[in-house]
């Protein structure tokens, strides 16, 4: 998975594991640095060897660019880590047990070209912004948890263009905090309305501006394989 931060790449990996009813194991690059930078390659090899004996598991690696960066610009250690991972992928694919490797990056252009060639990953999937339907679904999910008055969902959908799922979650945290403060001040129940969002939204800018979305569209054309 590749795309801007906060667009739900980790959520998709977890959802896949849930749909398959498989175990979900997440790896972040910092886990490989427990013994120092020089040991990252060895720790990666050991971890992948342990993963190969598992069955019915979704193995998720976040911040993939940290262990699969381009060897054209990387230093000696970066190159050795990328080389090690390139060796491990075919070994993983040779296994007969059920293992699904899912990786995620916000910076697909930083990945080594060899990682993106056919034969390494079967699919390279863009995960971008939310359309109106997606924003409506997430907004309604969070609104159901609040004491609301006249909310006008369509209006809020319009106001949250460019918001990622993470942005919307943060927005509702701020709305809930504001509602709590109002109840403390008034000593009465506070109903969240469209005006509440008008007040809070200027404090929560969207992550996906035009420039970010334009770059994502270019990457989708250049790198997607489904």
Instruction: Give the pLDDT score at 67.
Output: 84
Write out pLDDT tens, residues 135-148.
999 999 999 999 99
**DSSP string covering the chain, please?**
-B-STTSSHHHHHHHHHHHHT-EEEEE-GGGGGTT-GGGHHHHHHHHHHHHTT--SEEEEESSGGGTSB-TTT--HHHHHHHHHHHHHHHHHHT-SS-EEEEE-BS-GGGB-GGGGSTTT-S-B-B-----HHHHHHHHHHHHTTS-BSS--HHHHHHHTTT--HHHHHHHHHHHHHHHHHHHHHHSS---B-HHHHHHHGGGS--S--HHHHHHHHHHHHHH-B-
- Does position 126 have pLDDT exceeding 80, yes or no? yes
Q: Average per-residue pLDDT in the chain?
A: 90
pTM value is: 0.83
Write out pLDDT tens, residues 188-209.
999 999 999 999 999 999 999 9
Instruction: Give the pLDDT score at 57.
Output: 93
Instruction: Give the pLDDT score at 74.
Output: 59
Instruction: Give the pLDDT score at 77.
Output: 65
Tokens matching residue 97 = 């047990």
Instruction: Give the pLDDT score at 141.
Output: 95
Instruction: Give the pLDDT score at 4.
Output: 94
């Amino acid at each position: 998975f590749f795309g801007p931060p906060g667009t739900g790449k980790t959520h998709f990996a977890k959802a896949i594991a849930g749909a398959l009813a498989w175990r979900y194991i997440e790896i972040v690059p910092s886990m490989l640095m427990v013994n120092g930078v020089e040991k990252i390659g060895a720790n990666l090899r050991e971890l992948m060897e342990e993963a190969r004996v598992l069955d019915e598991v979704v193995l998720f690696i976040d911040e993939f660019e940290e262990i699969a960066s381009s060897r054209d610009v990387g230093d000696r250690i970066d190159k050795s880590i990328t080389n090690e991972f390139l060796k491990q992928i075919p070994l993983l694919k040779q296994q007969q047990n059920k293992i699904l490797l899912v990786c995620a990056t916000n910076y697909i252009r930083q990945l080594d070209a060899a990682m993106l060639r056919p034969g390494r990953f079967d699919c390279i999937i863009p995960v971008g912004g939310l359309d109106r339907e997606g924003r409506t679904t997430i907004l309604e999910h969070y609104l159901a948890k609040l004491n609301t008055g006249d909310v006008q969902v369509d209006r809020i959908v319009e106001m949250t263009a460019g918001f990622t799922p993470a942005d919307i979650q943060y927005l509702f945290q701020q709305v809930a905090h504001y509602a709590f403060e109002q109840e403390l001040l008034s000593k009465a129940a506070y109903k969240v309305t469209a005006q509440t969002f008008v007040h809070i939204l200027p404090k929560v800018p969207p992550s996906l501006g035009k420039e970010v979305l334009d770059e994502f569209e270019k990457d989708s054309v250049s790198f997607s394989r489904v």
